[in-house]
Chain A
């Protein structure tokens, strides 16, 4: 007789249900610089690297002329009164650091990634960019030319065109969430508008700082030295009102490329922001519908029918107002069949019983990914940033976790009956 028992491979090893985990969001340190600028910091991680992000309230919601916020964001790294774009890039590159900038709807950021040991050498340069950017005419001309070319190429892609159109339908062409840059937008850019936007929303704008990674001991003193004495505003400017102006016609079919072999499908309905009491619950419902690889949409439309390489649903992460979107690229000849299947899945969520096993899988998956996501310093600060910018605190995080743990199948059915109504969805195919 052997002591070794025969392995039964048909039986899964015992697991601990992730839904029972006790998840903790690592607290974040908060400081205020001399001028009142708030700093949020997470010290964690073994590698001696850090990420430092300046979030300005300088998104496209504040621009008076289309494209100005994005152009300002892009060009603020392309020259100061004493340095050329090349000299600026060379200095960051020399230290193996990255300085990127992104423009969103309410905010625009400048984000630094680099080795902790080189931070001190580079902070004066970031300070120079937010106080003394010069916006050379030549740089604007190159930006206009290259962005127009990039747009021309992108407009050939059905997925790009579909993303642009669905936002236009949901919010209207003049809403910050719905407007899209065109060739005319780039032609219309001018240095005076850019410089005055920069002066108002960067140099004298409101900024919050988020930093994470392996932090130097003198971090606060450094930030205070380079950013604590500058004339930033103590609060964001009130945003101009942007009423939603959604399209009337809900079903849209667009031929962008007559020879295309795939169609980009978007189904989307308006959905409120994180502050709405249903938001957290709907995040669970969304996961079940199309939020992960084991979702119903993926199971049916990719893994059973093979219509697509991937299909997902998600809640847009805007600060003020949002949408619930289902998105896929499918074979041209199966686009309409794909849409039929999507509606069938919505109906099943409204009317069908949600098995305990499936719900437990979704809950465990969500809890497991949050656990994994709370692991790295950049991910933790990302969660904090999302809370701070949305005007929330850690109780929102813990409420979300409790929602995942507690929500039941009948509650999800009720939410589906309320929100996953066919008529509420815009429906778009771009070939």
Chain B
């Protein structure tokens, strides 16, 4: 059970305090309710580029990292399709340094041309390192465009193409900042060796006078239900054929989410999962295979992907995957298998909650979902899932017309030896 206190400043900033005096450290986590889904289709990659700029100095403080490191702290941040999260950890005695730094960059950035210029380059290198210069690195760009026709999950957080990042202008940066980086669109979590009254006083002092901003009204185009299967085939200089298939699934806050999550564990979680046992070990069609989903806040994708054993025909591999899914759609899983994936979920949650940093991040995430208390009640939701729920969910998800299949094939002329 994770205890926390919650209050809201007069400018709308939501503040959560999680006290754990067994640690000498404090964590300050600021979540902004903006992700890549909030970008315009002609300016993708912006939320993430912006995250980089948040370290390029704020209105009163020339650099972010240095004073934090002087205070014995470290920090990082990440951007997803749904949200942007900044977190730092430092010795609790120096907690106020984090308030000073985080509040100043919520107040306003320095908006320096030099910082924008450098971070455009840095993000371009990140783009190359992760998506262009790796075998199969662009598979997900293709898959997203195949699976989404309308919703902005169509592009990756890094952006649809390098040119969008290269063309970002300082005025875009400013507009984005004042639209999204405001107290009403943020959640502050302070955790560790801290006290509620102390945090309240510091929050009032440093964040209290920041103008509230306007609550961002998210109005994204919904993805229309898919009515026919979509397929795509591409050939590249990769050594092995790879298979990617996705199906649309429910949103994170849907009641059906818990069953869908457990389905991915049954199919692809670990050495006793169905796909691994059947297709890697027994039939030896794949050298590796995974099943997972993104936990997206809007309706997301359930994924099966794997690399084929050299010489296997990709249609045979796909048919074998479908045969496993057919079993899930036609017969009830037994209690033991269901209990297994529930136990695994319980264990993962306990491990995640070990670090104060993770607890702070989770509280911010659940508060964004609408109620931080969900952090303590979700395990109960998993425990309630029945074999019938699993069957129903598999029947709803694994329909051919709901699927997107990508064959990522090895160029036979270039690749001889496996």
A binds B: yes
What residues make up the interface of A, taking CB atoms closer than 8 Å to B? 7, 9-10, 12-18, 21, 45-49, 77, 85-86, 88-90, 92-98, 113-115, 142, 145-146, 148-150, 152-153, 156-158, 183, 257, 259-262, 292-294, 302-309, 329-331, 357, 360-362, 364-365, 367-369, 371-372, 375-376, 378
Digitize B336-356: 1 where CB-to-A-CB distance is under 8 Å, 0 elsewhere. Answer: 100110011111101101111
Minimal beta-carbon separation of A374 from chain B (angstroms): 8
B129 contacts A146, CB within 8 Å? no
B125 contacts A330, CB within 8 Å? yes
Further 8 A-B residue pairs, CB within 8 A, beyond A9-B59, A149-B239, A262-B125: A49-B354, A85-B271, A86-B271, A89-B271, A97-B347, A153-B239, A156-B135, A368-B90
A375 contacts B25, CB within 8 Å? yes
A149 contacts B310, CB within 8 Å? yes
Compute how far the CA of A34 lies from the CA of B356 in the bound complex, rounded to whole angstroms: 38
Residue B146 interfacial (CB < 8 Å): no
A12 contacts B100, CB within 8 Å? yes
B135 contacts A18, CB within 8 Å? no
* One of A97, A142, A294, A306 near B122 (C-beta < 8 A): A306
Known: A13-B96, A85-B271, A364-B70. A331 touches B287 (CB 8 A): no
Q: Count contacts on B: residues with CB < 8 A to the other chain.
A: 84
Compute how far the CA of A77 lies from the CA of B310 in the bound complex, rounded to whole angstroms: 25
Compute how far the CA of A146 lies from the CA of B312 in the bound complex, rounded to whole angstroms: 13
B347 contacts A7, CB within 8 Å? no
Residue B272 interfacial (CB < 8 Å): yes
For residue A303, which residue of chain B has the nearest CB?
Answer: B118
A309 contacts B125, CB within 8 Å? yes
* One of A9, A45, A145, A330 near B104 (C-beta < 8 A): A9
Q: Which residues of B contact A86 (CB under 8 A)?
A: 271-272, 277, 281
Minimal beta-carbon separation of A156 from chain B (angstroms): 4
Q: Which residues of A contact B132 (CB under 8 A)?
A: 261
A360 contacts B70, CB within 8 Å? yes
A95 contacts B343, CB within 8 Å? yes
A152 contacts B418, CB within 8 Å? yes
Minimal beta-carbon separation of A318 from chain B (angstroms): 26
A364 contacts B69, CB within 8 Å? yes
Compute how far the CA of A105 lies from the CA of B322 in the bound complex, rounded to whole angstroms: 42
B94 contacts A15, CB within 8 Å? yes
* One of B94, B99, B273 near A16 (C-beta < 8 A): B94
Q: Which residues of A contact B237 (CB under 8 A)?
A: 259
For residue A298, which residue of chain B has the nearest CB?
Answer: B65
B72 contacts A47, CB within 8 Å? no
Q: Which residues of B contact A14 (CB under 8 A)?
A: 96
Q: Which residues of A contact B67 (CB under 8 A)?
A: 12
Chain B residues 53-104 with CB under 8 Å of chain A are 59-61, 65-67, 69-74, 89-91, 93-94, 96-97, 99-100, 103-104
A305 contacts B351, CB within 8 Å? no
Residue B288 interfacial (CB < 8 Å): yes
* One of B71, B96, B119 near A18 (C-beta < 8 A): B71
Residue B209 interfacial (CB < 8 Å): yes
Q: Which residues of A contact B238 (CB under 8 A)?
A: 153, 156
Q: Which residues of B contact A372 (CB under 8 A)?
A: 24-25, 74, 89, 91
A145 contacts B309, CB within 8 Å? yes
A48 contacts B350, CB within 8 Å? yes
Q: Which residues of A contact B269 (CB under 8 A)?
A: 93
Known: A15-B97, A149-B287, A306-B125. A369 touches B351 (CB 8 A): no
A368 contacts B91, CB within 8 Å? yes
For residue A87, which residue of chain B has the nearest CB?
Answer: B272
